[in-house]
């Protein structure tokens, strides 16, 4: 551009043009430069956007494989059975679950334990027919789960996932959304909050159940992660569903709240199929069955006493936690004695 400008100046001097003409030519060169650079940056933006468009077209081209079943989910049901179920996420070669054979009985409680990435959440998502097994089948009372329509299955399930939603609504709506039929039934909402223990912190909020949450609202409050988690559990307790799933619901709860939730879980196990994913083995002692997943396979299955006796993975994980608690207790005791 500088070269062109120098050329323009030389031509102007040689042709004895006025300063005005010279300024016009130099400005014209500048404008040309800006226009060319704009065209180039627009072309590069268009190219970048085309890359995204390709992904969208690729997504839209995937044929819809899912067909909703015709049957109504049985209420009450008796058992859910995983038969030789293996699963890998589309586009990956690694099997996240391998040869899972297990029977989950109604009105029993199960704890799903295992290290991070062992396939616990994926197991739950298969159970809820959110994913289809790559191999094998899941049966509910002897009929393939894909034959039931999803909405009737979901009507029978309450679930709290690790990535639960924090709705920017007031507290009562946040809870009521768990069971739309009772969305405005404050008595039911308060009862569920009492059961989950959320009632205590709600009572201390400025407008109790009317308190608006999240900063989107003026005069609203935001909750701690543990309080949000209690609210999500309360939402799940609203619905009198036959299946209750809690995927690490107590990760951010304090020891007392965790104990209270677990006692609730214990009480419910006689009326619902309860499945709790947990890393805290203090919670697993009372459940009917503990399923230990390791690298996508069921390594051990049984009650707490049986698995401790087997001296396998569960027993060593349990011991590891118990030892650290004992060590902490011993240190605390030592501190108290030496104070």
Ligand X SMILES: Nc1ncnc2c1ncn2[C@@H]1O[C@H](COP(=O)(O)OP(=O)(O)OP(=O)(O)O)[C@@H](O)[C@H]1O
Binding site for Mg ion (CB under 5 A): 120-121
Nearer to ligand X, 129 or 195 (CB): 129
Question: Is 114 among the residues that bind ligand X (CB under 6 A)?
Answer: yes
CA distance 67 to 227: 38
Choose, by CB under 6 A, the member of 109, 111, 120, 193 that binds ligand X.
Answer: 120
Site string for ligand X, 172-211 (x = CB under 6 A): ----------------------------------------
Instruction: Specify the residue, 193 or 293, whose C-beta has the smaller distance to Mg ion.
Output: 293
18 touches, from Mg ion, ligand X, none (C-beta below 5 to 8 Å by class): none
The smaller minimum CB distance to Mg ion, of residues 12 and 243, is found at 243
Question: Number of residues in contact with ligand X, rule: CB under 6 A?
Answer: 12
Contact at 8 Å (CB) between 298 and 86? no
- Told to check if 132 binds ligand X by CB under 6 A, we report no
CB 222 within 8 A of CB 214: yes
Q: Please, what is the end-to-end C-alpha distance for the chain in angstroms?
A: 80
Contacts with ligand X in 34-93 (CB under 6 A)? 89, 92
Q: Does 121 bind ligand X (CB under 6 A)?
A: yes
- Cis before residue 76, ω within 30 degrees of 0? yes
How far, in Å, are 25, 217, 230, 237, 299 from residue 234 at the CA level? 74, 22, 6, 5, 32
Report CA-CA distances (Å) from 31 to 21, 26, 133, 208. Answer: 15, 9, 61, 63
Q: Does 96 bind ligand X (CB under 6 A)?
A: yes
- Give the separation between CA 170 and CA 339, rounded to whole angstroms: 47
Give the nearest residue (CB) to Mg ion: 121
Binding residues for ligand X (CB under 6 A): 89, 92, 96, 114, 116-122, 162
């Amino acid at each position: 551009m500088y070269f062109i400008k120098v050329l323009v100046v030389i031509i102007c001097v040689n042709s004895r043009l006025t300063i005005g003409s010279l300024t016009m030519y130099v400005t014209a060169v500048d404008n040309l430069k800006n226009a060319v650079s704009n065209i180039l940056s627009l072309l590069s933006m268009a190219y970048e956007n085309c890359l995204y468009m390709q992904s969208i077209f690729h997504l839209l081209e995937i044929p819809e494989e899912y067909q909703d079943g015709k049957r109504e989910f049985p209420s009450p049901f008796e058992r859910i059975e995983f038969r030789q179920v293996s699963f890998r996420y589309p586009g990956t070669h690694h099997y996240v679950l391998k040869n899972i054979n297990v029977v989950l009985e109604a009105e029993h409680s199960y704890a799903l334990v295992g290290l991070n990435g062992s396939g616990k959440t994926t197991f739950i998502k298969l159970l809820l027919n959110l994913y289809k097994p790559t191999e094998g089948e899941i049966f509910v009372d002897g009929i393939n789960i894909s034959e039931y329509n999803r909405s009737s299955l979901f009507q029978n399930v309450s679930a709290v996932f690790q990535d639960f939603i924090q709705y920017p609504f007031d507290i009562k709506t946040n809870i009521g959304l768990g069971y739309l039929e009772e969305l405005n039934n404050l008595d039911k909402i308060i009862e569920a909050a009492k059961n989950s223990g959320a009632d205590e912190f709600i009572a201390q909020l400025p407008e109790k159940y009317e308190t608006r949450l999240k900063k989107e609202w003026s005069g609203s409050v935001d909750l701690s992660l543990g309080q949000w988690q209690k609210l999500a559990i309360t939402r799940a307790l609203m619905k009198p569903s036959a299946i209750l799933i809690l995927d690490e619901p107590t990760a951010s709860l304090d020891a007392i709240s965790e104990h209270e939730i677990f006692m609730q879980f214990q009480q419910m196990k006689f009326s619902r199929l309860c499945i709790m994913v947990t890393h805290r083995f203090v919670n697993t002692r009372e459940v009917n069955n503990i399923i230990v997943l390791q690298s996508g396979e069921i390594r051990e299955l049984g009650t707490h006493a049986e698995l401790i006796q087997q001296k396998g993975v569960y027993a060593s994980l349990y011991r590891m936690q118990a030892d650290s608690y004992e060590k902490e207790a011993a240190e605390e005791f030592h501190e108290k004695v030496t104070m």
